[in-house]
Amino acid sequence: MSGLLDVMEANRPQLVRYLRAQGMGEDAEDILQDLRLKLLDAAPGPVGNPLGYLYRALTNMVIDKRRADIQRRKRDEQWADNADLASDVTSAPGQERQLDSERTLGRVEEALGGLTPRARDILLRHRVDGQTQRAIAADLGISQSTVESDLRGAYVLLHDLRKRLDEE
Amino acid sequence: MTKRAEHLLDEAAVWLVRTGDPSFDDWDDFTCWLEVDPAHAEAYQSLAESAASLDPALAQLDRDPVEANAPTVRRTRPWALAASVAAFAALGITVLPELRGTTYETRPGEMRTITLAAGDTLVLNGGTRITVRNLPGRRVALDRGQMLLRLDGDNRPVTVLSGDLRLVDVGTVFEVARDEKTTRVTVAEGAVMVDPKSARLRLDAGQRLDARDGDALLRAVPAPTEGVGSWTDGQLTYVAEPIERVAADLVRSTGVDFSVDPAMRRLPFSGTLSVAAVRRDPVSLGPLLGATVKRSDKQWVIGKG
């Protein structure tokens, strides 16, 4: 894995700049350090596009960090809201999560009705199966830009759904 | 939403789609776009986060609407996987190494913990080989061995592949073991969806699934939760399990090469074994199993008592 670490060091200013552009500010260096530790822990494996790989890993970490921050805020808010309520019965966190996900499943199913069957197929192939856009285009016999276009629409649709679900 | 906000989301969607491709190379251009305005990064991340938060639900959707509401838990071929492999082969494209992910392998007797994002851990037992992929979706392929997963429900879902079995979960504690062509999944907390595309068997805490590659029916049985992952503490607990399974687990955990006399293989064993004690003195295993353990070549053979 020294190859990836070397690439990271050689491109450090660029990667820090990217993280700052993603709004990470002071945390940029820490995030790079986190990635460094993860890479040290990983078994060596050939990577076709090392710099691209690093960017994608960092992007992922940015998104994960954002989710963690949002969840923490939500939990803090909930705690504040419930602080006055005395309750004998508390449902287990696991149960709440399960019920919520069943309801969400129905809503997602419903929202995806707004996509063409092809767009729905492309979305699931990409997000669930992890197929690349190129592979999907080849499978379905369409151009890659058609795949990209369908995916764009799907992402916007999912975002709208997320906003609606959050408001409830 | 204002026209400007809508337009910004569309732009962010363009970038989200493009950066989601492993061959994407215009990171400098993307950085410049992000630097124009903090609202750009916010839009991009918000879009990415919305999709990621709905991944667990997407993973559970019916792939073929015609198959919905099937009364029995019957499986069909995992068409999506077969299709993507065929596509790569037909075009003569080498699967990008990035797509294959990172491989971790432990020797028998070795244990290793791997941390995925924010609080998600995999503990690998000995003799285990897995491949982990983080982008675009988190996936762990179990080639062989045993692992314990502890996943925080707030993170993205993890898909575990074992043979032709596909497990999807969010926020659970569960264990998966694969030997040859059989997979055993035991859930300690939360729930795991098995084969979200076809059979859609839901395994809850206190349930276990034993499946062979190619099985047409999947059935869950009750299983004690205390045993799940006990090997991470150096303890192996059994309730009427065949000795061949005990031996396979011991090989993984101790690194000692046990083999079992055919006459003994199916005999049930109940009890708790200490990995350290067996490693120190394999012969001591004999009386515990109601058998004798003798050295033969490089192996320790468990035979009739």
What pLDDT sits at residue A88? Answer: 39
Contact (CB, 8 A) for B144 and B168: no
What pLDDT sits at residue A35? Answer: 86
**Contacts made by residues A11-20, CB under 8 angstroms, sequence distance 24+:** A11/A51, A11/A54, A14/B28, A14/B31, A15/A54, A15/A55, A15/A58, A17/B31, A18/A55, A18/A58, A18/B27, A18/B30, A18/B31, A18/B34, A19/A58, A19/A62
**Contact assignment for A128 to B10 by CB distance below 8 Å:** no
A40 touches chain B (CB under 8 A): no
Contacts of A4 in chain B (CB under 8 A): none
Q: How far apart are alpha carbons A105 and B141 in whole angstroms? A: 25
Query: Vertex B125, ends B262 and B221: CA angle to 5°?
Result: 65
Q: How far apart are alpha carbons B56 and A119 in whole angstroms? A: 18
Which of A13-27, A75-89, A106-120, B108-122 is predicted least confidently?
A75-89
Of the CA atoms within 13 Å of residue A75, those in its CB half-sphere come to: 8
**Is it the case that residue B280 has pLDDT exceeding 80?**
yes
B90 touches chain A (CB under 8 A): yes
Contacts of A53 in chain B (CB under 8 A): 98
Query: Vertex B292, ends B289 and B294: CA angle to 5°?
Result: 130
Average pLDDT for residues B262-272, to the nearest whole number? 89
DSSP SS3 for B26:
coil
E-strand stretches of chain B: 102-105, 112-115, 121-124, 129-133, 138-150, 158-162, 165-169, 173-179, 182-189, 191-194, 201-204, 207-212, 220-222, 235-242, 258-260, 268-274, 291-296, 299-304
Contact (CB, 8 A) for B21 and B96: no
Q: How far apart are alpha carbons B295 and B298 in whole angstroms? A: 7
**Is it the case that residue B86 has pLDDT exceeding 70?**
no
Share of chain B above pLDDT 70, in %: 83
What pLDDT sits at residue A45? Answer: 56
A59 touches chain B (CB under 8 A): yes
Distance from CA of A10 to the nearest CA of B (A): 15
**Is it the case that residue B101 has pLDDT exceeding 70?**
no
- Give residues 2 to 31 of B whose Cβ lies within 8 Å of A: 9-10, 13-14, 16-25, 27-28, 30-31
Residue B156, amino acid: R
Distance from CA of A85 to the nearest CA of B (A): 25
* Residue B114 dihedral angles phi and psi, to the nearest 5°: -120, 135
Q: Which residues contact B291 (CB under 8 A, 6 or more apart)?
A: B243, B264, B285, B302, B303, B304, B305
DSSP SS3 for A24:
coil
Higher pLDDT, A100 or B39: B39
Residue B146, amino acid: Q
Among chain B residues, CA nearest to A133: B21
**Contact assignment for B57 to A63 by CB distance below 8 Å:** no
A94 touches chain B (CB under 8 A): yes
- Give residues 230 to 289 of B whose Cβ lies within 8 Å of A: none
| Residue for token pair 């009427």 | B240
Distance from CA of A126 to the nearest CA of B (A): 8
Confidence band of B83 (pLDDT split at 50, 70, 90): very low
Among the partner residues A65, A124, A156, nearest to B63 by beta-carbon distance: A124
Among the partner residues A23, A43, A130, nearest to B137 by beta-carbon distance: A130
Condensed to tens digits (0 to 9), the pLDDT of residues A6-34 reads 899 999 999 999 999 999 999 999 999 98
Of the CA atoms within 13 Å of residue B192, those in its CB half-sphere come to: 31
Distance from CA of A86 to the nearest CA of B (A): 26
Among the partner residues B34, B45, B171, nearest to A63 by beta-carbon distance: B45
Which of B45-49, B122-126, B192-196, B270-274 is predicted least confidently?
B192-196
Share of chain A above pLDDT 90, in %: 39
Average pLDDT for residues A124-134, to the nearest whole number? 85
**Is it the case that residue B32 has pLDDT exceeding 90?**
yes
**Contact assignment for B21 to A98 by CB distance below 8 Å:** no
Among chain A residues, CA nearest to B13: A152
**Contact assignment for A104 to B34 by CB distance below 8 Å:** no
Average pLDDT for residues A111-135, to the nearest whole number? 89
DSSP SS3 for A34:
helix
What's the whole-model pTM score? 0.53
Contacts of B19 in chain A (CB under 8 A): 55-56, 59
Contacts of B114 in chain A (CB under 8 A): 41
**Contact assignment for A94 to B171 by CB distance below 8 Å:** yes
Distance from CA of B260 to the nearest CA of A (A): 33
User: Does an H or E element contain B247, and which?
Assistant: helix B243-254
Q: How far apart are alpha carbons B63 and B183 in whole angstroms? A: 24
User: How much of chain A is helix, strand and coil, in % rounded to 5?
Assistant: 80, 0, 20
**Is it the case that residue B217 has pLDDT exceeding 90?**
no
**Contact assignment for B34 to A22 by CB distance below 8 Å:** yes
Confidence band of B85 (pLDDT split at 50, 70, 90): very low
Average pLDDT for residues B123-132, to the nearest whole number? 88
Among the partner residues B46, B97, B117, nearest to A47 by beta-carbon distance: B97
Q: How far apart are alpha carbons B136 and B204 in whole angstroms? A: 27
Q: What is the ipTM of this complex?
A: 0.88
| Residue for token pair 């028998």 | B108
Q: How far apart are alpha carbons B1 and A53 in whole angstroms? A: 35
Confidence band of B76 (pLDDT split at 50, 70, 90): very low
What pLDDT sits at residue B57? Answer: 82
Average pLDDT for residues A100-120, to the nearest whole number? 84
Q: How far apart are alpha carbons B197 and B60 in whole angstroms? A: 7
DSSP SS3 for B101:
coil
In the DSSP assignment, the letter for residue B94 is P
Q: Taking each helix axis from N to C terminus, what angle separates A144-167 and A133-140, rounded to the nearest 10 degrees?
A: 110
Confidence band of B233 (pLDDT split at 50, 70, 90): confident
Distance from CA of A12 to the nearest CA of B (A): 13
Q: How far apart are alpha carbons B247 and A130 in whole angstroms? A: 37
**DSSP letters of B33-87?**
HHHH-HHHHHHHHHHHHHHHHHHHHHHHS-SSGGGTT-SS-B----HHHHHHHHH
